[in-house]
Copies of this chain bind each other. A is one copy, B any other.
Amino acid sequence: MSQRVARKRGERVRAILTTAAELLGERGYEDVSLEDVAERLDVTKGSLYYYFASKDELVTAAIETLGTDWTDRLEALPVAGPPAERLRALLREHIRIAVREYPAALRLFLVPDDWPAEQQARIKALRRRHDGVFRAVVEEGLRSGEFAVVAVGPTLQAMHAAMSQAPVWVRGEEQIDQLADTLMRLVRA
């Protein structure tokens, strides 16, 4: 395949994934049909199968796109300053993304046990990377004595759960701040 064609294909795939990620983030797995994705892209269902072998594969790739994009934005935040400040910034940005762009994203990471192993693995890897961003800051704070936790794992899980479910009730900037500050208590020394 020529370079030009490969690039074209990459663009096409990216367009599909972006669209699918949007829809999935808005409505969740069960409420998005391939017809929906195809329609928003103005192509037919059949075309999607030219790029992806099944709905699950498309969805997995889209979740990866969504998750990677999300993590990228978190990693793009400034890395200077004390851990507390950086963690609060991460929390706020995460909540903002969840509330504004991916209200249904939570469900996507609750992968059913009966998914193909490969796809479960991919999503778990994604979660791990995403997690890593927070974990790094938390551990830094722990080392410097600025933070204290019961255990790192449950702390991060609690943070993520709270942030991901935020779209259900958070309205407005003020609540975002309150939630972020509330979660900061989980690590305060």
Binding site for B on A (CB under 8 A): 27, 29-31, 104, 106-107, 109-110, 112, 149-151, 153-155, 157-158, 160-162, 164-166, 168-169, 175, 178-179, 181-183, 185-186, 188
Contact = CB atoms under 8 A, between A and B. Distances in A.
A168 B188 CA distance: 26
Contacts of A162: 157-158, 161-162
A106 B110 contact: yes
How many copies of this chain sit in the oligomeric assembly? 4
30 contacts: A30-B30, A106-B110, A106-B165, A107-B107, A107-B110, A109-B168, A110-B165, A150-B181, A150-B182, A150-B185, A151-B178, A153-B178, A154-B175, A154-B178, A157-B162, A157-B165, A157-B169, A158-B161, A158-B179, A158-B182, A158-B183, A160-B165, A161-B161, A161-B162, A161-B164, A161-B165, A165-B165, A185-B186, A185-B188, A186-B186
A-B CB proximity, top 4 nearest: A158-B162, A161-B165, A30-B30, A161-B161
